[in-house]
A and B are shown apart, each in its own frame.
Chain A
Amino acid sequence: MFTQTTETLRPGDKLDILYRLFQGDDLGQLIDALDNNSVVGLQKFVWETTAEFGIIARRKNFSRREITRKMTPTPQYQKSRGCNQHTYQCKATECIHFNPKCAREKIKEHVKVMAETLQEYIKIERQNEPFEEMLQEIH
C-alpha cells in the first residue's frame, strides 16, 4: 500500500463545476481551460456527484451502467481516433499525459453524458417533490 494521494481540484473549482452542472451549462469550455491534472479531477468529481445524485434519485435501482451505457465504448472510441495502444491504456488518468488532446475529447464526451444524466436525476426528484413534502407533513 502506498500512501501517496493527489487531490487536484480545489473546493472553489468544484464549486464552479457544480454551478455549471446545476445551471445546465456545457463544461467543454472549462475543460479546455484547465490543465491536465485538473481535467482528470473534474471528470472524477462530476462522476462522483452524478453517482451520488443517482443513488438518491434511483435508490436501490441505481446502477453505474445507467450512466456508462450512454458513453462510447472504449474500443470504438480508440478506433475512431486511429489509436493503436492497448485498450487498458485508454484511461483519462493514463493518457492525459501522453495524448492530452485525445484524452480531453474523451473526457468531454463522458462529462457531457454525466451532466445530462444528472439533469435526469434532478427531473425525477422534481416530480417526486410534492409527494415527499406530503410525507414529511404526515410525519
Chain B
Amino acid sequence: MKIGEIAIISHSSRQRDNFIRSICRKIDLENELVSFGRFEINDQLGLHFYGISIDKQDSDLSWDLISRKMLGYVVIFDWEDLISLESVKPIVNGFAETLRAPFVIVGNVPDMSKPPIPKIFFQDKGIHLSPNFRFTFGQVDQPECARKILTLLIDMLLDRVEHNGFFQHK
C-alpha cells in the first residue's frame, strides 16, 4: 500500500486531534505531544497524519527525521488567540528556512459561517504567503472544512507535480 504522510501541527493537542478526527474519523495513537491517524483512499493508497503539538519551550522534535518523508504540513492556530499565533510564528519561520514543502497555515475560527473576511478571498486557493506557504481560515472540527484545507494542500502538491514533481526554489 502506498502511503502519503502529512504532519498536522498545532499549539494545542485538542485542535490537532480535531483536525485528524475530522478527516480520519478516529485517532489510532494519542498522547500530549503526538497523535496518529489513518485515512484509507482505497486498498492501494492511504494517508497517514502525524499530529504534533508545539510548546514554546519544546524546540527539538526530531523534525529532520520526520520531515523528509512528509508530503506537506498543516499548521493550525487559533485566529482569536494572539498567543496561539505567536507560538506558531517561529515554527513557521523555522520551517521556511529549512524545508521546501507545501504548508497550509490555518487560522481556526469557531464558526465558519461567519469568517473574519469573506470566503471568496481565501476559499479556493488560500492567501499566498510564499510559493510554499498558503494561509486560509477554517473550522478544524468540521469535517467538510478539514477536507477543504487538505484539498488546498493537495492542490499545492498537484501544482508542483505539474512542474516535474519537485518544489521550485523560491
**In the complex, A touching B (Cβ < 8 A):** yes
Instruction: List B residues 64-114 near A (Cβ within 8 Å).
Output: 79, 82, 85, 88-93, 95-97, 103, 105, 107
A19, A125, A132, most chain B CB atoms within 10 A:
A19
Known: A11-B130, A15-B135. A53 touches B85 (CB 8 A): no
B116 at the binding interface (Cβ < 8 Å):
yes
Q: Are A12 and B92 in contact (CB under 8 A)?
A: yes
Contact size class for B? 20 to 34
A interface SS class = helix
The CB with the most chain A CB atoms within 10 A, among B79, B93, B97, is that of B93
The answer to whether B133 and A11 have CB atoms under 8 Å apart is yes
**Given the complex, which residues of A lie within 8 Å of B105, measured CB to CB?**
11, 15
For B104-133 the 0/1 string (1 means CB < 8 A from A) is 010100000000111111000001111001
Instruction: Tell whether A11 pairs with B93 under 8 Å between CB atoms, given A16-B85, A125-B118.
Output: yes
CB distance from B7 to the nearest CB of A (A): 16
Contact bitstring A27-70, B, C-beta under 8 A = 1, else 0: 00000000000000000000011001100100000000000000
Are B121 and A11 in contact, with the CB atoms below 8 A? no
Q: Tell me the nearest residue of chain B to A21, going by C-beta.
A: B117
Q: Which of A11, A14, A18, A19 has the most CB of B within 10 A?
A: A11
Task: Please tell me which one of the listed residues A10, A53, A125, A126 contacts residue B96 in the complex, with CB atoms under 8 A apart.
Answer: A10
Which 9 A-B pairs have CB atoms at the shortest separation, nearest pair first? A12-B93, A12-B89, A125-B118, A12-B92, A11-B133, A10-B93, A11-B129, A14-B129, A11-B96
What are 22 contact pairs spanning A and B, CB under 8 A?
Answer: A5-B170, A10-B96, A10-B97, A11-B95, A11-B105, A11-B130, A12-B88, A12-B92, A12-B96, A13-B89, A15-B89, A15-B92, A18-B127, A18-B135, A22-B116, A22-B117, A48-B128, A53-B121, A122-B121, A128-B118, A129-B118, A132-B120
